């Protein structure tokens, strides 16, 4: 068994008196799609925000490829190859598609220290990425404010693709999408993993999760209550783990 790409140990995150995440251990391996499931408020987004450098954990450790890391910002996480598509998408409506994809890491030509944008180059890269996604967006210079929900999702995914990341985290990437777009995102998820990338996918859609993931972890009230390989479980079991009807989860709930 090779070492996991990412190991989280005892991750805890408290917001004041509220414990959003409590002692979570989880490994993420290269080349696999790991799905996170759980009710609203279970702590999934909080977990991935810690991995993405958007929240500092209250307790616990993260190692990447065996080396401990501590992220002060999403930029730090990006620098070690973690790309995140946040649930809130994190796009600027007044900037163009290309500007959003490159926001914070623009391609520039420095003249006397001043970072001038290389618009043509950025536009070309984004055009290629959008084609790869089959996103039906013709003009990378269009403002993001004029796009539909699915198109925005595609822009956010482009950001992650451009990073050429080792770990891509997607928080409910298909929540706003129609059937055809959902297909594309699921295909892409699979392709990323087959390329050797690790993918962490959050979704409420059990059918999607069973189609695309290799492994699933179920969160409940800030804890990880179960972890299953896809070939060792079925949708009914996962649903009962999420809702708390499963005997294992009942036992855990009682312990608390």
23's contact among Mg ion, ligand ATP, another protein, none, with CB below 5 to 8 A by partner kind, is: none
Residue 93, interface with another protein (CB under 8 A)? yes
The first and second tokens of residue 198, run together, are 């690790």
Q: Are strands 215-220 and 223-229 parallel, antiparallel or unpaired?
A: antiparallel
Which span sits near ligand ATP by CB under 6 A: 4-12, 36-44, 109-117, 236-244? 36-44
Asked whether 55 and 12 are in contact (CB, 8 A), the reply is no
Asked whether 12 and 75 are in contact (CB, 8 A), the reply is no
Type and span of the H or E element at 232 = none
- Alpha helix segments (H runs only) across the chain: 44-51, 74-79, 97-102, 119-133, 149-163, 179-194, 206-212, 235-243, 247-255
Q: How far apart are CA 193 and CA 170, in angstroms?
A: 13
43's contact among another protein, Mg ion, ligand ATP, none, with CB below 5 to 8 A by partner kind, is: ligand ATP
Q: How far apart are CA 141 and CA 74, in angstroms?
A: 25
Q: What minimum distance in Å lies between the beta carbon of 54 and Mg ion?
A: 12
Give the residue with the Cβ less far from another protein, 105 or 250.
105
Q: Which of 22, 45, 189, 213 binds Mg ion (CB under 5 A)?
A: 45
Q: What is the 8-class DSSP label of residue 75?
A: H
Which span sits near another protein by CB under 8 A: 15-23, 135-143, 192-200, 210-218? 135-143
Residue 156, classified by CB atoms within 10 Å of its CB into exposed (0-12), middle (13-18) or buried (19+), is buried
Q: Which of 2, 16, 66, 104 binds another protein (CB under 8 A)?
A: 104
Q: Which of 37, 42, 157, 216 binds ligand ATP (CB under 6 A)?
A: 42
114's contact among Mg ion, another protein, ligand ATP, none, with CB below 5 to 8 A by partner kind, is: another protein
Question: Contact residues for another protein (CB under 8 A)?
Answer: 54, 73-75, 78, 86, 88-96, 99, 103-106, 108, 114-117, 141-143, 159
Question: Contact residues for ligand ATP (CB under 6 A)?
Answer: 15, 18, 20, 38, 40-46, 87
């Amino acid at each position: 068994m090779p070492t996991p790409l990412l190991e989280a140990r005892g991750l805890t995150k408290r917001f004041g008196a509220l414990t959003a995440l409590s002692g979570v251990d989880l490994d993420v391996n290269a080349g696999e799609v790991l799905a996170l499931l759980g009710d609203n408020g279970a702590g999934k987004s909080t977990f991935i925000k810690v991995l993405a450098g958007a929240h500092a954990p209250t307790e616990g450790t993260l190692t990447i490829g065996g080396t401990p890391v501590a992220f002060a910002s999403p930029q730090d996480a990006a620098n070690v190859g973690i790309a995140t598509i946040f649930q809130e998408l994190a796009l600027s409506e007044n900037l163009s598609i290309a500007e959003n994809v490159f926001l914070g890491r623009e391609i520039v030509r420095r003249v006397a220290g001043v970072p001038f944008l290389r618009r043509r180059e950025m536009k070309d890269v984004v055009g290629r990425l959008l084609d790869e996604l089959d996103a039906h967006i013709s003009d990378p210079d269009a403002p993001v404010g004029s796009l539909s929900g699915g198109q925005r999702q595609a822009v956010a995914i482009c950001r992650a693709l451009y990073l050429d990341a080792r770990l891509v985290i997607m928080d409910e990437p298909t929540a706003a999408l129609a059937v055809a777009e959902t297909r594309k995102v699921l295909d892409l998820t699979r392709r990323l993993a087959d390329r050797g990338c690790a993918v962490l996918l959050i979704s409420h859609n059990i059918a999607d999760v069973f189609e695309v993931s290799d492994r699933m972890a179920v969160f409940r009230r800030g804890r990880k209550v179960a972890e299953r390989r896809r070939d060792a479980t079925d949708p009914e079991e996962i649903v009962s783990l999420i809702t708390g009807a499963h005997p294992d989860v009942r036992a855990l709930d009682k312990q608390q």
